[in-house]
A and B are shown apart, each in its own frame.
Chain A
Amino acid sequence: MSALLEVTDLKTHYASGGTTIRALDGVSFTLAEGEVLGIVGESGCGKSTLGRTILRLVEPTSGSIRFQGEDITRLGRRAMIQRRRQMQVVFQDPFGSLNPRHRVGEIVVEPLEVHGIGDRRSRAARVAELLALVGLPADAAGRYPHEFSGGQRQRIAIARALVLEPKLLIADEPVSALDVSIQSQIINLLAELRVRLGLAMLFISHDLSVIRHVSDRIAVMYLGRIVEIATTAEIFDNPAHPYTRALLSAVPHTDPARRRERILLPGEMPDPAHPPGGCAFHTRCHHALPRCAVERPLLTLRPIDGGAAREVACHLIEGGKGRDV
């Protein structure tokens, strides 16, 4: 598979009250066509900023974003709007992202109008097709968002995101606001659409069980950086970075067989305005070496005991002879 999306050393810094918040601080990865990459991490790790920066809803400070082989990092507004036909987004709160005064049909058809695609008739047909695709009744088009439940509203948001037949869907916590029984319906829908439409997805979530279920590969983020990126099986069967291990161990399970020995992290996530030097995780790491406080480990291919070599940013894991990322 060729790379659909290639992100290189992407940084997004915000100025806030005289300090600089390093929301994204050097993120690199590639996403193949049709692939689902899960982005997981806790509040303040930069996962949502990553999605928004790729879409250029937030401007990057440095680094590059290549989409379908083209560098879109500095594209003008007009050109960027064109590219967004191919890259769409679904957010956590479908109510906040749907205009309450527009009927569902108007909400779903709007991207077609903005891009001047089709005539009135073909657009109406396309809207009906999309509503059916996401499992909404045909009469939904004439109704308003508030008439729908949370799960159905997320279906509306998905229909709108897919109406332009994008290649890439950025799903930012798409099921986090939903009850468990509704979550599964939306996860199934996204999985089905992915196969049917050959969609690639950047699936951003704090929920490790959801991420595990939907992703081909997973990137774990901490304080604006990726600390480990590998296939889903590798991450869950043999997590390498101490933060990945602590994160996985913290998830409570109903099945005792799935529980891991809990690794409690001391203290709190540091302030992204003042990230620790060296490895950003060293202040909470149970295995930190003196070196970790001064030298930032590169995200680079390292051999793993009992597993496949993978990209991980940790001095405890020897190697780093692969490509520097």
Chain B
Amino acid sequence: MTDAPLLAVEGLSVAMGGVPVLEDVSFSIAPGETLGLVGESGCGKSVTALSIMRLLPDPPGRITAGRILFDGVDMTSLDIKALRAIRGDRIGMIFQEPMTSLNPVFTIGDQIGESLIVHRGLSGAAARAETARLLDLVGIPAAKKQLGRYPHELSGGQRQRVMIAIALACSPRLLIADEPTTALDVTVQAQILDLIGRLRVEFGMAVLLITHDLGVVAEFCDRVAVMYAGRLVEEAPSARLFANPRHRYTEALLHTMPAANPPGRKLPSISGAVPAPADRGAGCIFAPRCGFALPRCASELPPLTDPPHRLRCWNPAA
């Protein structure tokens, strides 16, 4: 890639209460690019997102190593004031459950307007007009009439649209979307992903999409990074990774999906469970569950190979 990355996460390690939950995670996102971060519960994908935003509660969470470069500035070195100027302005965020991120006692007009007043210095009237325009943009009909409504009066899909409007209020260069469609029905998910996709092009915005849904990533993202137990284990352009997964964890995960198997056939499964953060050994963390593990896998951590298809595996698929 010739573009300087918009976001570069370099060797990020995070501990919770002294226990490492994220270890040596590196990836980058170019301007306008979409990167999917996938993995199962506890793999560290949400901790990664919160760390980038510096929203990880400290204590217990602490960044123990690494840098997070946004537009060349190391987020880990910024004070709270400098962070606030970036959050909600140049980086927008949406989360899984919009009901818990929206304030129930303020109207949606107030909540979208707040960002415009704080970051863009608009007056009340100008903020209201801009808010109506944003609601219109995210597909909430009769936008002007909706400004006085409260979050509980909206459906789940509409609340997520409002969250997107808030995230977009300041035309961010990066949108971090953490499981944005997980709580939504599949036809509503299709609407929301379509919306984010269109806005991304319109705003020239990069997107970090965090999800457990491999299908969503395959269809939405330019590149995908797979996480397992606090580490990034594989990263490649989406089409390439899904056509030819090389890390044994990615491969097993894809094989285990019902959609990848003929109906009624016994599904391949991954034995065992993800180890707790305190029980991660010195070698490859997937080794105890891997059908292709070599003797060295249990003791020696495989290095991350170079792009375009990065992986951490001693015995990868061809």
Contact = CB atoms under 8 A, between A and B. Distances in A.
Given A181-B252, A188-B269, A255 B259 contact: yes
B64 to A, nearest CB: 27
A251 B40 CA distance: 19
B263 A252 contact: no
Contacts of B213: 252
Given A212-B258, A258-B259, A264-B194, A184 B158 contact: no
A180 to B, nearest CB: 6
A252 B187 contact: no
Contacts of B259: 209, 212, 253-255, 258
B101 interface: no
Given A180-B253, A188-B269, A208-B186, A252 B215 contact: yes
B256 A181 contact: yes
Contacts of B218: 252-254
A290 B102 CA distance: 40
Interface string B255-287: 011111101101111100100000000000000
Interface residues of B, number: 42
Interface in A25-40: none
Nearest to A232: B263
Contacts of A180: 40, 212, 214, 253, 256-257
Interface residues of A, number: 42
Interface centre among A247, A255, A265 (most CB of B within 10 A): A255
A252 B262 CA distance: 17
B270 A206 contact: no
Contacts of B155: 268-269
B83 to A, nearest CB: 32
Contacts, number: 113
A259 B269 CA distance: 24
B263 A255 contact: no
A250 B214 contact: no
Contacts of A259: 219
A210 interface: yes
Contacts of B256: 180-181, 183-184
A274 to B, nearest CB: 14
A43 B185 contact: yes
Interface string A11-47: 0000000000000000000000000000000110000
Nearest to A267: B141
A265 B242 CA distance: 28
Contact of A247 (B187, B191, B252): B187
B187 A246 contact: yes
Contacts of B191: 264-265
Interface in A237-254: 246-247, 249-254
A212 B267 CA distance: 13
Contacts of B185: 42-43, 206, 269
Nearest to A251: B186
A139 interface: no
Nearest to B194: A264
B137 interface: no
Contacts of B215: 251-254
Main secondary structure on B side of the interface with A: helix
B242 A255 contact: yes
A112 interface: no
Given A180-B253, A252-B216, A253-B218, A188 B194 contact: no
Contacts of A182: 273
Given A181-B269, A184-B269, A268-B155, A250 B258 contact: no
Interface centre among A149, A151, A252, A262 (most CB of B within 10 A): A252
Main secondary structure on A side of the interface with B: helix
Contact of B258 (A151, A184, A252, A265): A184
A187 interface: yes
A74 B256 CA distance: 44
B40 A191 contact: no
A213 B264 contact: yes
Given A206-B185, A254-B215, A188 B266 contact: yes
Given A254-B218, A264-B194, A213 B261 contact: yes
B171 interface: no
Contacts of B261: 213
Nearest to A211: B258
Nearest to B214: A254
A213 B258 contact: yes
Interface string A181-198: 111110110011000000
Interface string B150-176: 000001111000000000000000000
A143 to B, nearest CB: 16
A181 B263 contact: no
B19 interface: no
Contacts of A255: 242, 259-260
Nearest to A177: B41
A179 interface: yes
B76 interface: no
A8 to B, nearest CB: 28
Interface string A269-295: 100000000000000000000000000
A256 B215 CA distance: 10
A250 B257 contact: no
A257 B220 CA distance: 16
A269 B220 CA distance: 24
Given A181-B253, A184-B269, A250-B189, A209 B258 contact: yes
Which 10 A-B residue pairs are closest in the complex by CB-CB distance? Answer: A252-B215, A42-B185, A213-B258, A184-B267, A250-B190, A209-B259, A179-B40, A254-B218, A181-B270, A184-B256
Interface of B: 40-41, 155-158, 185-191, 193-194, 212-216, 218-220, 239, 242, 252-254, 256-261, 263-264, 266-270, 273
6 contacts: A180-B40, A181-B40, A187-B267, A188-B267, A213-B258, A254-B260
